[in-house]
A and B are shown apart, each in its own frame.
Chain A
């Protein structure tokens, strides 16, 4: 019982840290995907005096990644239909050029204003519509959710870090005497700390497996059965193979740093 308790006191905070890391990875992937969706769905509307190419727009502002001309033919036909004496060709000639501009990222509203200012400086451009209000409210909501979740992960990481520090104190107390006795008999540092490293590495691996199992269950069971569209569509983002390696690497790094600190502080106090 005591043996299990000793292991759980390290495994629990380690799982908490790894859950934080994995949530962060999943969140990052999901928000990246959501952000690219927002980016794809957003475009600026530009009215120009003459035909312009993508390079012309990029010469005005580097954030413009794509320019698509809106075909005026159907528009001219609709106008001609209402104005009987004018042919669609004449209307077509009289109409300016319309463009949808796409941007290279999800930018904040002040950056949108900067782009607008750069574009209207050109004599070829008559009008720019950024749809700033709708964009700005989505952007703010998105940024707020992102900030809250990141703050939560950092808080979770900090709490877990302090639990690990507490565990390090326990290790120091528990292993110090053994390491000191071994030192008196001439044991090198690696032999003295070998037991502690082994225990901690096994615990780190168990914590990695537990965390991976939680996310695999989320991915293959909960997400599928949730009937929530976004979860079912983004199911593949919930856990990727590389995540296991990242979790294992993180846990081993935490273990090596923590145990090394314990070992060196125990050696110094002899």
Chain B
């Protein structure tokens, strides 16, 4: 496998119990690519994404993310892999008892960075997502768009090699959605972070030359 390949799936099958969701998927994604995965509701988009951060183990076949094989991966290796990923969720998954700033530094806390580094990085990221003024507020005091910007800042906190976004604009209006797309595009273009977005919306940036996979009838197909 080339060093440039960040995600590689080979005959990948994913199931919930006895129900196959994805069957014999084959694809690979290179470093710095921006990828869309679309498909109808219930087609398995989120399942595929979850398998990439080890929330679901492959039933058969192989899935390699950042050089780590995810079949039968042990907890320690999985934790290690997750600290190098940025994950964005449709429902934001922020910790409501924590301030915006503390939510943003979560990946840095987990990685054991010093308080000074956490503070500096948090200030930089909050400025980047234009939330400096709101850093001491709690997630439930923010709008949906603002919460998702916190989610993006958290995903970028540790300069991940891969950002996995599950319907990141699913709950947002057009303006907020565009802000989120811009933030993810910037990460891809400026930091060469690979960004993989699962969505059922056809976003405006679709006009750009990003690779696009569609999930249909359990298969994962690239759209040319």
Which residues in A have some Cβ–Cβ distance to B below 8 Å?
177-178, 181-182, 184-188, 191
Q: Does the CB pair B95–A188 fall under 8 Å? A: no
Q: Does the CB pair B95–A185 fall under 8 Å? A: no
Smallest Cβ distance from B141 to chain A, in angstroms?
16
Residues of A within 8 Å of B95, CB to CB, are 177-178, 181-182
Mostly helix, strand, loop or mixed at chain A's interface? helix
Contacting chain A: which of B80-88, B124-132, B168-176, B196-204? Answer: B80-88
Residues of B within 8 Å of A188, CB to CB, are 79, 110
Partner of A186, one of B81, B94, B97, B154: B81
Chain A residue with minimal CB distance to B154? A185
B53 within 8 A of A: yes
Smallest Cβ distance from A220 to chain B, in angstroms?
41
Chain B residue with minimal CB distance to A175? B97
Q: Does the CB pair A184–B82 fall under 8 Å? A: yes
Residues of B within 8 Å of A177, CB to CB, are 95
Chain A residue with minimal CB distance to B155? A185
B165 within 8 A of A: no
Q: Does the CB pair B93–A186 fall under 8 Å? A: no
Chain B residue with minimal CB distance to A191? B110
A184/B53 contact (C-beta < 8 A), A178-B95, A178-B97, A191-B110 known: yes
Chain A residue with minimal CB distance to B92? A181
22 residue pairs bridging A and B, Cβ less than 8 Å apart = A177-B95, A178-B97, A181-B93, A181-B106, A182-B95, A182-B106, A182-B110, A184-B82, A184-B93, A185-B83, A185-B106, A185-B107, A186-B78, A186-B79, A186-B80, A186-B81, A186-B85, A186-B107, A187-B79, A187-B109, A188-B79, A191-B109
B217 within 8 A of A: no
Cα A136 to Cα B56 in complex, Å, equals 70
Chain B residue with minimal CB distance to A267? B75
B143 within 8 A of A: no
B55 within 8 A of A: yes
What 0/1 pattern do residues 73 to 117 of B give for CB contact below 8 A with A? 000001111110101000001110100000000110110000000
Residues of A within 8 Å of B80, CB to CB, are 186
Chain A residue with minimal CB distance to B82? A186
A186/B55 contact (C-beta < 8 A), A178-B95, A178-B97, A181-B93 known: no
